[in-house]
Copies of this chain bind each other. A is one copy, B any other.
Protein backbone atom coordinates (compact mmCIF):
# COMPACT_ATOMS: atom_id res chain seq x y z
CA UNK A 1 0.00 0.00 0.00
CA UNK A 2 1.33 3.44 -0.86
CA UNK A 3 1.54 6.05 1.84
CA UNK A 4 0.17 9.51 1.22
CA UNK A 5 3.75 10.73 0.89
CA UNK A 6 4.51 8.31 -1.89
CA UNK A 7 1.71 9.63 -4.11
CA UNK A 8 3.90 12.48 -5.28
CA UNK A 9 6.57 9.91 -6.14
CA UNK A 10 4.03 7.84 -8.06
CA UNK A 11 2.86 10.90 -9.96
CA UNK A 12 6.47 11.72 -10.86
CA UNK A 13 6.97 8.15 -12.09
CA UNK A 14 3.77 8.47 -14.09
CA UNK A 15 5.13 11.67 -15.68
CA UNK A 16 8.36 9.89 -16.65
CA UNK A 17 6.39 6.94 -18.02
CA UNK A 18 4.17 9.31 -20.01
CA UNK A 19 7.25 10.80 -21.66
CA UNK A 20 8.42 7.32 -22.62
CA UNK A 21 5.10 6.05 -23.91
CA UNK A 22 4.10 9.20 -25.84
CA UNK A 23 6.29 8.55 -28.92
CA UNK A 24 5.60 4.76 -29.02
CA UNK A 25 3.84 3.38 -32.06
CA UNK A 26 0.40 1.79 -32.23
CA UNK A 27 1.73 -1.74 -32.75
CA UNK A 28 3.66 -1.69 -29.52
CA UNK A 29 0.74 -0.26 -27.56
CA UNK A 30 -1.65 -2.78 -29.11
CA UNK A 31 0.73 -5.63 -28.18
CA UNK A 32 0.46 -4.57 -24.54
CA UNK A 33 -3.35 -4.44 -24.70
CA UNK A 34 -3.64 -7.87 -26.34
CA UNK A 35 -1.16 -9.33 -23.83
CA UNK A 36 -3.34 -7.94 -21.04
CA UNK A 37 -6.42 -9.58 -22.57
CA UNK A 38 -4.56 -12.90 -22.65
CA UNK A 39 -3.29 -12.62 -19.10
CA UNK A 40 -6.68 -11.63 -17.70
CA UNK A 41 -8.31 -14.55 -19.52
CA UNK A 42 -5.64 -16.97 -18.25
CA UNK A 43 -5.74 -15.71 -14.67
CA UNK A 44 -9.50 -15.78 -14.35
CA UNK A 45 -9.45 -17.94 -11.22
CA UNK A 46 -6.77 -15.95 -9.44
CA UNK A 47 -8.66 -12.75 -10.24
CA UNK A 48 -11.88 -14.21 -8.90
CA UNK A 49 -10.10 -15.27 -5.71
CA UNK A 50 -8.84 -11.72 -5.17
CA UNK A 51 -12.30 -10.44 -6.00
CA UNK A 52 -13.85 -12.85 -3.48
CA UNK A 53 -11.77 -11.17 -0.73
CA UNK A 54 -13.30 -7.82 -1.70
CA UNK A 55 -16.78 -9.30 -1.92
CA UNK A 56 -16.47 -10.91 1.52
CA UNK A 57 -15.66 -7.63 3.24
CA UNK A 58 -18.30 -5.77 1.21
CA UNK A 59 -20.92 -8.33 2.30
CA UNK A 60 -19.70 -8.11 5.90
CA UNK A 61 -20.19 -4.34 5.72
CA UNK A 62 -23.73 -4.92 4.52
CA UNK A 63 -23.25 -3.04 1.24
CA UNK A 64 -26.30 -3.12 -1.04
CA UNK A 65 -26.71 -5.74 -3.76
CA UNK A 66 -26.35 -3.22 -6.63
CA UNK A 67 -22.96 -2.33 -5.14
CA UNK A 68 -21.95 -6.00 -4.91
CA UNK A 69 -23.06 -6.50 -8.52
CA UNK A 70 -20.76 -3.78 -9.79
CA UNK A 71 -17.91 -5.15 -7.69
CA UNK A 72 -18.24 -8.74 -8.87
CA UNK A 73 -15.75 -10.18 -11.40
CA UNK A 74 -18.12 -12.79 -12.83
CA UNK A 75 -17.04 -14.91 -15.80
CA UNK A 76 -19.15 -12.63 -17.97
CA UNK A 77 -17.47 -9.46 -16.65
CA UNK A 78 -13.99 -10.94 -17.18
CA UNK A 79 -14.85 -11.99 -20.73
CA UNK A 80 -16.18 -8.49 -21.36
CA UNK A 81 -12.93 -6.96 -19.99
CA UNK A 82 -10.88 -9.05 -22.40
CA UNK A 83 -13.14 -8.04 -25.27
CA UNK A 84 -12.78 -4.34 -24.33
CA UNK A 85 -9.00 -4.66 -24.43
CA UNK A 86 -9.20 -6.25 -27.88
CA UNK A 87 -11.65 -3.63 -29.09
CA UNK A 88 -9.47 -0.75 -27.91
CA UNK A 89 -6.46 -2.42 -29.58
CA UNK A 90 -8.47 -2.50 -32.82
CA UNK A 91 -9.36 1.21 -32.69
CA UNK A 92 -7.37 3.71 -34.75
CA UNK A 93 -4.58 5.40 -32.78
CA UNK A 94 -5.28 9.14 -32.46
CA UNK A 95 -1.65 10.04 -31.62
CA UNK A 96 0.33 11.57 -34.45
CA UNK A 97 -2.70 12.34 -36.59
CA UNK A 98 -2.21 15.67 -38.33
CA UNK A 99 -5.74 17.02 -38.17
CA UNK A 100 -5.10 19.86 -40.59
CA UNK A 101 -2.19 21.47 -42.39
CA UNK A 102 -2.18 24.69 -44.33
CA UNK A 103 0.27 26.92 -46.17
CA UNK A 104 1.04 30.50 -45.21
CA UNK A 105 1.86 33.23 -47.73
CA UNK A 106 5.53 33.14 -46.62
CA UNK A 107 5.75 29.45 -47.52
CA UNK A 108 5.50 28.04 -43.98
CA UNK A 109 3.43 24.88 -43.67
CA UNK A 110 1.51 25.01 -40.38
CA UNK A 111 -0.33 21.98 -39.02
CA UNK A 112 -1.94 20.62 -35.89
CA UNK A 113 -0.75 17.22 -34.69
CA UNK A 114 -2.49 15.12 -32.04
CA UNK A 115 -0.38 14.31 -28.98
CA UNK A 116 -1.22 12.58 -25.68
CA UNK A 117 -2.32 14.76 -22.75
CA UNK A 118 0.36 13.27 -20.47
CA UNK A 119 -0.80 11.88 -17.13
CA UNK A 120 -4.47 11.17 -16.40
CA UNK A 121 -5.79 10.74 -12.85
CA UNK A 122 -8.87 8.49 -12.75
CA UNK A 123 -10.94 8.56 -9.56
CA UNK A 124 -13.84 6.13 -9.52
CA UNK A 125 -15.96 3.78 -7.47
CA UNK A 126 -15.53 0.10 -6.70
CA UNK A 127 -15.90 -1.17 -10.27
CA UNK A 128 -12.89 -3.27 -11.32
CA UNK A 129 -13.95 -3.26 -14.99
CA UNK A 130 -13.34 0.52 -15.03
CA UNK A 131 -9.74 -0.18 -13.97
CA UNK A 132 -9.14 -2.18 -17.13
CA UNK A 133 -11.12 0.04 -19.52
CA UNK A 134 -9.52 3.27 -18.30
CA UNK A 135 -6.04 1.75 -18.46
CA UNK A 136 -6.68 0.48 -21.99
CA UNK A 137 -7.86 3.88 -23.24
CA UNK A 138 -5.01 5.77 -21.57
CA UNK A 139 -2.32 3.40 -22.90
CA UNK A 140 -3.78 3.41 -26.41
CA UNK A 141 -3.79 7.22 -26.46
CA UNK A 142 -0.15 7.32 -25.26
CA UNK A 143 -0.91 8.59 -21.76
CA UNK A 144 0.09 7.35 -18.33
CA UNK A 145 -2.66 6.86 -15.75
CA UNK A 146 -2.95 6.90 -11.98
CA UNK A 147 -5.96 4.78 -11.04
CA UNK A 148 -7.74 5.41 -7.78
CA UNK A 149 -10.67 2.99 -7.63
CA UNK A 150 -13.00 2.60 -4.69
CA UNK A 151 -11.17 0.97 -1.79
CA UNK A 152 -13.77 -1.85 -1.61
CA UNK A 153 -12.23 -3.19 -4.85
CA UNK A 154 -8.66 -3.07 -3.56
CA UNK A 155 -7.68 -6.71 -3.98
CA UNK A 156 -9.36 -7.01 -7.37
CA UNK A 157 -7.69 -3.84 -8.63
CA UNK A 158 -4.27 -4.88 -7.35
CA UNK A 159 -4.54 -8.21 -9.14
CA UNK A 160 -5.65 -6.51 -12.36
CA UNK A 161 -3.01 -3.79 -12.29
CA UNK A 162 -0.31 -6.40 -11.71
CA UNK A 163 -1.35 -8.11 -14.95
CA UNK A 164 -1.54 -4.77 -16.77
CA UNK A 165 1.97 -3.82 -15.63
CA UNK A 166 3.33 -7.19 -16.71
CA UNK A 167 1.73 -6.72 -20.14
CA UNK A 168 3.30 -3.28 -20.55
CA UNK A 169 6.71 -4.69 -19.59
CA UNK A 170 6.31 -7.56 -22.06
CA UNK A 171 5.61 -5.08 -24.87
CA UNK A 172 8.64 -2.98 -23.92
CA UNK A 173 6.51 -0.15 -22.56
CA UNK A 174 7.08 1.53 -19.18
CA UNK A 175 5.13 -0.48 -16.55
CA UNK A 176 4.62 2.69 -14.52
CA UNK A 177 2.29 3.95 -17.25
CA UNK A 178 -0.48 2.19 -15.29
CA UNK A 179 -0.34 2.54 -11.50
CA UNK A 180 -2.84 1.92 -8.75
CA UNK A 181 -3.20 4.37 -5.86
CA UNK A 182 -4.22 1.86 -3.23
CA UNK A 183 -4.31 3.92 -0.05
CA UNK A 184 -7.87 3.48 1.16
CA UNK A 185 -8.59 6.90 2.70
CA UNK A 186 -9.60 10.18 1.08
CA UNK A 187 -6.28 11.76 2.04
CA UNK A 188 -4.80 9.86 -0.89
CA UNK A 189 -7.35 11.43 -3.24
CA UNK A 190 -6.55 14.88 -1.88
CA UNK A 191 -2.86 14.22 -2.39
CA UNK A 192 -3.50 13.19 -6.00
CA UNK A 193 -5.48 16.39 -6.59
CA UNK A 194 -2.44 18.44 -5.52
CA UNK A 195 -0.02 16.95 -8.07
CA UNK A 196 -0.58 19.68 -10.64
CA UNK A 197 3.09 19.51 -11.56
CA UNK A 198 2.72 15.91 -12.77
CA UNK A 199 -0.96 15.18 -13.51
CA UNK A 200 -2.61 16.91 -16.47
CA UNK A 201 -6.26 15.94 -16.13
CA UNK A 202 -8.50 14.40 -13.48
CA UNK A 203 -11.48 12.31 -14.59
CA UNK A 204 -13.81 11.41 -11.72
CA UNK A 205 -16.52 8.81 -12.33
CA UNK A 206 -19.23 8.12 -9.81
CA UNK A 207 -21.94 9.88 -7.87
CA UNK A 208 -22.46 13.64 -7.69
CA UNK A 209 -20.92 13.77 -4.19
CA UNK A 210 -17.64 12.25 -5.35
CA UNK A 211 -17.46 14.55 -8.35
CA UNK A 212 -18.17 17.68 -6.28
CA UNK A 213 -15.52 16.64 -3.75
CA UNK A 214 -12.98 16.22 -6.54
CA UNK A 215 -13.93 19.46 -8.33
CA UNK A 216 -13.77 21.51 -5.13
CA UNK A 217 -10.41 20.17 -4.03
CA UNK A 218 -8.50 19.87 -7.27
CA UNK A 219 -5.79 22.18 -8.54
CA UNK A 220 -5.73 20.11 -11.70
CA UNK A 221 -8.37 20.53 -14.44
CA UNK A 222 -11.31 18.18 -13.85
CA UNK A 223 -13.73 16.76 -16.41
CA UNK A 224 -17.03 17.20 -14.66
CA UNK A 225 -20.19 15.21 -15.07
CA UNK A 226 -22.52 15.89 -12.19
CA UNK A 227 -25.73 14.33 -13.42
CA UNK A 228 -27.97 13.58 -16.34
CA UNK A 229 -31.37 15.23 -16.22
CA UNK A 230 -32.39 14.24 -19.74
CA UNK A 231 -35.50 15.53 -21.50
CA UNK A 232 -37.67 14.32 -24.36
CA UNK A 233 -39.93 16.90 -26.00
CA UNK A 234 -42.89 15.39 -27.86
CA UNK A 235 -43.82 17.99 -30.46
CA UNK A 236 -47.22 18.76 -31.98
CA UNK A 237 -47.91 16.25 -34.74
CA UNK A 238 -45.21 13.76 -33.62
CA UNK A 239 -45.62 10.21 -34.93
CA UNK A 240 -47.53 8.60 -32.04
CA UNK A 241 -45.94 5.13 -32.34
CA UNK A 242 -42.46 6.67 -32.46
CA UNK A 243 -43.17 8.96 -29.50
CA UNK A 244 -44.37 6.04 -27.35
CA UNK A 245 -41.43 3.85 -28.41
CA UNK A 246 -38.78 6.51 -27.75
CA UNK A 247 -40.22 7.60 -24.38
CA UNK A 248 -40.52 3.99 -23.24
CA UNK A 249 -36.97 3.15 -24.31
CA UNK A 250 -35.48 6.33 -22.88
CA UNK A 251 -37.15 5.85 -19.49
CA UNK A 252 -37.22 2.11 -18.94
CA UNK A 253 -34.51 0.35 -20.96
CA UNK A 254 -32.02 1.07 -18.14
CA UNK A 255 -33.42 3.59 -15.68
CA UNK A 256 -30.35 3.79 -13.42
CA UNK A 257 -27.99 5.43 -15.94
CA UNK A 258 -27.22 9.04 -16.72
CA UNK A 259 -28.71 9.08 -20.23
CA UNK A 260 -32.11 7.79 -19.11
CA UNK A 261 -35.12 10.09 -19.52
CA UNK A 262 -36.06 12.08 -16.39
CA UNK A 263 -38.51 14.75 -17.61
CA UNK A 264 -41.01 14.43 -20.45
CA UNK A 265 -42.25 17.63 -22.09
CA UNK A 266 -45.38 17.30 -24.22
CA UNK A 267 -46.84 19.87 -26.61
CA UNK A 268 -50.28 21.02 -25.40
CA UNK A 269 -51.83 19.96 -28.72
CA UNK A 270 -50.88 16.36 -27.86
CA UNK A 271 -52.02 16.50 -24.24
CA UNK A 272 -55.40 14.85 -24.77
CA UNK A 273 -54.56 12.10 -27.22
CA UNK A 274 -50.87 11.20 -27.24
CA UNK A 275 -49.93 11.98 -23.63
CA UNK A 276 -52.36 9.41 -22.14
CA UNK A 277 -51.01 6.75 -24.54
CA UNK A 278 -47.42 7.45 -23.55
CA UNK A 279 -48.29 7.48 -19.84
CA UNK A 280 -50.22 4.24 -20.11
CA UNK A 281 -47.31 2.48 -21.85
CA UNK A 282 -44.91 3.77 -19.17
CA UNK A 283 -47.19 2.68 -16.33
CA UNK A 284 -47.38 -0.80 -17.82
CA UNK A 285 -43.64 -0.90 -17.15
CA UNK A 286 -44.12 0.30 -13.59
CA UNK A 287 -43.19 3.97 -14.07
CA UNK A 288 -44.53 6.44 -11.51
CA UNK A 289 -45.72 9.76 -13.02
CA UNK A 290 -45.24 13.15 -11.34
CA UNK A 291 -47.11 15.73 -13.38
CA UNK A 292 -47.70 19.45 -13.74
CA UNK A 293 -51.29 20.61 -12.99
CA UNK A 294 -52.33 20.22 -16.65
CA UNK A 295 -50.93 16.70 -16.70
CA UNK A 296 -52.82 15.86 -13.50
CA UNK A 297 -56.05 16.93 -15.19
CA UNK A 298 -55.42 14.26 -17.88
CA UNK A 299 -53.81 11.63 -15.65
CA UNK A 300 -55.92 11.98 -12.53
CA UNK A 301 -54.16 9.44 -10.33
CA UNK A 302 -50.66 10.83 -10.98
CA UNK A 303 -48.72 12.53 -8.19
CA UNK A 304 -48.30 16.30 -8.48
CA UNK A 305 -44.78 17.36 -9.40
CA UNK A 306 -43.11 19.65 -6.87
CA UNK A 307 -40.59 22.33 -7.92
CA UNK A 308 -37.73 19.93 -7.08
CA UNK A 309 -39.07 17.32 -9.50
CA UNK A 310 -37.98 19.55 -12.40
CA UNK A 311 -34.26 19.03 -12.36
CA UNK A 312 -34.40 15.75 -10.42
CA UNK A 313 -32.20 12.87 -11.54
CA UNK A 314 -34.33 9.95 -10.32
CA UNK A 315 -32.24 7.11 -11.79
CA UNK A 316 -35.38 5.10 -11.11
CA UNK A 317 -38.81 4.28 -12.59
CA UNK A 318 -40.13 7.76 -11.91
CA UNK A 319 -40.86 10.41 -14.55
CA UNK A 320 -41.68 14.11 -14.30
CA UNK A 321 -44.17 15.23 -16.97
CA UNK A 322 -44.96 18.77 -18.06
CA UNK A 323 -47.28 20.09 -20.74
CA UNK A 324 -45.77 23.04 -22.63
CA UNK A 325 -47.11 25.55 -25.12
CA UNK A 326 -44.55 24.69 -27.77
CA UNK A 327 -40.89 24.55 -28.74
CA UNK A 328 -39.96 27.86 -27.10
CA UNK A 329 -41.28 26.83 -23.71
CA UNK A 330 -39.65 23.40 -24.06
CA UNK A 331 -36.25 24.96 -24.82
CA UNK A 332 -36.67 27.44 -21.99
CA UNK A 333 -37.57 24.64 -19.55
CA UNK A 334 -34.53 22.58 -20.59
CA UNK A 335 -32.27 25.61 -20.22
CA UNK A 336 -33.60 26.28 -16.72
CA UNK A 337 -33.70 22.78 -15.29
CA UNK A 338 -31.45 20.68 -17.53
CA UNK A 339 -27.96 19.43 -16.76
CA UNK A 340 -26.47 19.94 -20.27
CA UNK A 341 -26.36 16.16 -20.73
CA UNK A 342 -28.81 14.85 -23.38
CA UNK A 343 -32.11 16.05 -24.82
CA UNK A 344 -34.29 14.70 -27.63
CA UNK A 345 -37.21 15.97 -29.69
CA UNK A 346 -39.80 13.73 -31.35
CA UNK A 347 -41.20 15.64 -34.31
CA UNK A 348 -42.26 15.51 -37.94
CA UNK A 349 -41.62 19.23 -38.43
CA UNK A 350 -38.45 20.13 -40.33
CA UNK A 351 -38.01 23.65 -38.98
CA UNK A 352 -38.57 22.71 -35.34
CA UNK A 353 -36.19 19.75 -35.63
CA UNK A 354 -33.48 22.10 -36.90
CA UNK A 355 -34.20 24.75 -34.28
CA UNK A 356 -34.06 22.18 -31.46
CA UNK A 357 -30.71 20.85 -32.74
CA UNK A 358 -29.22 24.33 -33.01
CA UNK A 359 -30.65 26.07 -29.96
CA UNK A 360 -30.42 23.40 -27.29
CA UNK A 361 -26.78 23.48 -26.23
CA UNK A 362 -26.63 20.27 -24.22
CA UNK A 363 -23.73 17.93 -24.94
CA UNK A 364 -25.96 15.63 -26.99
CA UNK A 365 -29.09 16.72 -28.86
CA UNK A 366 -31.13 14.15 -30.78
CA UNK A 367 -34.02 14.24 -33.23
CA UNK A 368 -36.31 11.20 -33.28
CA UNK A 369 -34.02 8.89 -31.33
CA UNK A 370 -33.79 7.69 -27.73
CA UNK A 371 -31.64 9.59 -25.22
CA UNK A 372 -30.07 6.20 -24.39
CA UNK A 373 -27.84 6.57 -27.48
CA UNK A 374 -25.76 9.27 -25.76
CA UNK A 375 -22.80 6.97 -25.16
CA UNK A 376 -19.33 6.53 -26.63
CA UNK A 377 -19.94 3.02 -27.94
CA UNK A 378 -23.30 3.92 -29.47
CA UNK A 379 -21.77 6.95 -31.20
CA UNK A 380 -19.06 4.77 -32.69
CA UNK A 381 -16.17 6.15 -30.63
CA UNK A 382 -15.31 2.52 -29.84
CA UNK A 383 -15.01 3.20 -26.13
CA UNK A 384 -15.75 5.80 -23.50
CA UNK A 385 -13.55 7.15 -20.72
CA UNK A 386 -16.38 9.33 -19.41
CA UNK A 387 -18.89 11.99 -20.30
CA UNK A 388 -18.31 15.71 -19.88
CA UNK A 389 -21.18 18.06 -19.16
CA UNK A 390 -18.95 21.11 -19.03
CA UNK A 391 -17.73 22.68 -22.22
CA UNK A 392 -14.01 23.04 -21.57
CA UNK A 393 -11.78 20.50 -23.37
CA UNK A 394 -14.59 18.03 -24.14
CA UNK A 395 -18.39 18.03 -24.14
CA UNK A 396 -20.40 14.80 -24.18
CA UNK A 397 -19.08 11.24 -24.48
CA UNK A 398 -15.26 11.14 -24.47
CA UNK A 399 -13.28 8.56 -26.43
CA UNK A 400 -9.62 8.25 -27.34
CA UNK A 401 -9.51 11.58 -29.17
CA UNK A 402 -10.55 13.45 -26.02
CA UNK A 403 -7.47 11.99 -24.25
CA UNK A 404 -5.28 13.93 -26.66
CA UNK A 405 -4.61 17.56 -27.51
CA UNK A 406 -2.97 19.11 -30.58
CA UNK A 407 0.33 20.91 -30.90
CA UNK A 408 1.25 23.19 -33.78
CA UNK A 409 3.92 21.82 -36.10
CA UNK A 410 5.66 24.08 -38.61
CA UNK A 411 7.77 23.07 -41.62
CA UNK A 412 9.92 25.99 -42.69
CA UNK A 413 12.72 26.64 -45.12
CA UNK A 414 14.57 29.34 -43.21
CA UNK A 415 11.76 31.89 -42.70
CA UNK A 416 12.21 34.72 -40.24
CA UNK A 417 9.64 37.24 -39.03
CA UNK A 418 9.71 40.70 -40.55
- Which residues from chain A sit less than 8 Å from chain B, CB to CB? 19, 22-23, 96, 102, 104, 108, 110, 113, 115, 117-118, 200-201, 216, 219, 221, 239, 241-242, 245-246, 248-250, 253, 335, 357-359, 361-370, 372-374, 378-380, 390-397, 405-417
Known: A102-B380, A117-B392. A369 touches B410 (CB 8 A): yes
Q: Which residues of B contact A407 (CB under 8 A)?
A: 361-365, 395-396
A-B contact pairs, 12 of them (CB 8 A): A113-B358, A221-B390, A221-B392, A242-B414, A246-B416, A253-B417, A364-B410, A365-B407, A369-B414, A370-B417, A374-B408, A396-B407
Q: Which residues of B contact A392 (CB under 8 A)?
A: 117, 200-201, 221, 392-393, 405
Say how far A114's CB is from chain B's closest CB, in angstroms. 10
Verify A245–B406 contact, CB threshold 8 A: no
Rounded to whole angstroms, the CA-CA distance of A96 and B361 in the bound complex is 11
Known: A104-B380, A407-B363. A416 touches B249 (CB 8 A): yes
Out of B372, B379, B417, which one reaches A372, CB within 8 Å?
B417
Say how far A268's CB is from chain B's closest CB, in angstroms. 23
Q: Which residues of B contact A380 (CB under 8 A)?
A: 102, 104, 110
Verify B365–A117 contact, CB threshold 8 A: no
Say how far A199's CB is from chain B's closest CB, in angstroms. 11
Say how far A58's CB is from chain B's closest CB, in angstroms. 30
Rounded to whole angstroms, the CA-CA distance of A345 and B23 in the bound complex is 18
Rounded to whole angstroms, the CA-CA distance of A89 and B369 in the bound complex is 37
Given contacts A391-B405, A393-B393, 6 further A-B contacts (CB under 8 A): A104-B380, A115-B391, A200-B390, A364-B408, A373-B417, A396-B407
Central interface residue in A364, A410, A414, by most chain B CB within 10 Å: A410
Rounded to whole angstroms, the CA-CA distance of A280 and B392 in the bound complex is 47
Say how far A168's CB is from chain B's closest CB, in angstroms. 20
Say how far A14's CB is from chain B's closest CB, in angstroms. 15
**A220 — nearest CB in chain B belongs to which residue?**
B392
Verify B408–A104 contact, CB threshold 8 A: no
**A216 — nearest CB in chain B belongs to which residue?**
B219
Central interface residue in A104, A396, A405, by most chain B CB within 10 Å: A405
**A368 — nearest CB in chain B belongs to which residue?**
B412
Rounded to whole angstroms, the CA-CA distance of A392 and B199 in the bound complex is 11
Q: Which residues of B contact A367 (CB under 8 A)?
A: 410-412
Rounded to whole angstroms, the CA-CA distance of A324 and B313 in the bound complex is 59
Rounded to whole angstroms, the CA-CA distance of A249 and B366 in the bound complex is 52
Say how far A176's CB is from chain B's closest CB, in angstroms. 17
Rounded to whole angstroms, the CA-CA distance of A342 and B253 in the bound complex is 51
